[in-house]
Amino acid sequence: MSMYYIETPCPSFPRLTHFGYEAHAIPYTFPHYHHGYEIMYFTSGSSSIELIEGSPSVSVSGEQVLIISPRIEHRFLVNAKKLSYYWLGIQTSRRIAVGDGPAAVIHPRYKIGLGRILKTRFVEHIDSSLENIARGLTLKDYAVIAAPPQIGCILHDMRSEIENKGLLFQEIVAAKTVEMMALIARSFSAPPADVDAITRIQQHLAAHHTPPPPLSELAGIIGRHPVYLSKRFRSVTGMTITDYANQQRINSAKRLLVSGESVGDTAAKLGFASIYYFSTLFKKYCGKPPSSFRRIRERH
């Protein structure tokens, strides 16, 4: 699937204002803002992005998240077309914007030639979970963070639910949205002294698509005791080192499957001992076997 998107609030879940996937980055030149957070999860590639006029470019790459605060005027000028990413907008405040048109608000000085101006109204929409999560997002305008390892599966599942519109899909999308926002907010609340050390371990694990090395070897990278590393890693990320490493391998597997690799070749390239073990682990982390993930891609 090269592109998929919705660009108006979902009637059943208006807090989700836009959602999509791009296999090749498309520039958006008009400065605009959103009434909620805009989130981009980069699945592959790398690029610098001119985001806020007059500010330095932002560098992003695969397995990173760019999050932009509500009502921060921005644009999206990329320097590479190989950047692939999910993008979505989430409103977290008590009063949310609803309307019958695109979720982006473009400044009047740029609206010449863009068609009719769509009206937006505000309504009260109570969702205590998202409101509480937003309080933990200590974000002034925008930030680039390492993506929590579960994000890829969550967004893929959201896309599948929105496309297929199965029974209770609205409730599933809403629950996954809350989970995603909670994981992102937790990344902002980690103690600064631990972030650098844990980030180094995350980067090491992301660069090696094999079973994780012994705990003592990882602890030596940051000069800490293995027991300290194990406890601190779980405190900061919410996952054990083994789970995190496995999730990284599954994320790599998803990229290979989407690119057209067979299940067997994907398992071999990532060093799994057998297709059976790979399939079992994939289903554990994504809730479905790798063959079904590949079929979703083939439908598009």
Q: Which of 117-121, 140-144, 161-165, 265-269 has the lowest mean pLDDT?
A: 117-121
Domain boundary assignment for the chain? 3-189, 192-298
SS3 46: strand
Alpha-carbon dihedral sign for residues 128, 129, 135, 137: negative
Residues forming a β-bridge with 76: 28
Please choose, from the candidates 251, 198, 213, 196, the residue with its C-alpha nearest in 3D space to the C-alpha of residue 63.
Answer: 251
What CATH code is assigned to 192-298?
1.10.10.60
For residue 154, pLDDT over 90 is answered with yes
Q: Do domains 3-189 and 192-298 have the same CATH topology?
A: no
- Model confidence at 26, pLDDT cuts 50, 70, 90, reads confident
Q: How far apart are CA 21 and CA 88, in angstroms?
A: 9
Say how many C-beta atoms besides its own lie within 10 A of residue 22's C-beta.
19
Q: How far apart are CA 143 and CA 177, in angstroms?
A: 19
Q: How far apart are CA 77 and CA 275, in angstroms?
A: 41
What percentage of the chain exceeds 90 in pLDDT?
Answer: 12
In contact, 140 and 69? CB cutoff 8 Å: yes
CATH 2.60.120.280 at 3-189, yes or no: yes
Q: Report the predicted TM-score, pTM, of the whole model to 2 decimal places.
A: 0.65
Give the type of residue at 267. A
